[in-house]
Amino acid sequence: MKTLIITSGIITNLLLLSTAICGFWIRANNINDISSINFHVTIGSISIVLAVLSVVILTRSLLKQ
């Protein structure tokens, strides 16, 4: 369970960080390409789902102890 929590946390943080960096880059360069924006919306949505999943896994793990 500990490995799952760590792996989920690392993946979530990497996705959120890359989404934020790319989002700021898109905003700074005034990119209006729909496919680029849709890609980052998808990655952002996946990041949020994984963040919620990580919190649920961590909560369940803490409640079992």
pTM listed for this prediction: 0.69
**Separation in Å, CA 14 to CA 9, 34, 37, 47:** 9, 23, 18, 9
**Separation in Å, CA 8 to CA 23, 35, 65:** 22, 27, 20
Identify which has the larger pLDDT, 42 or 2.
42
The pLDDT of residue 65 is above 80: no
Residue 54's pLDDT is what? 85
Q: For 19-61, what is each residue's pLDDT tens digit?
A: 888 888 888 888 888 888 888 888 888 888 888 888 888 888 8
| Terminal alpha carbon distance of the chain | 12
Residue 16's pLDDT is what? 84
The owner of tokens 């949020």 is: 48
Residue 52's pLDDT is what? 87
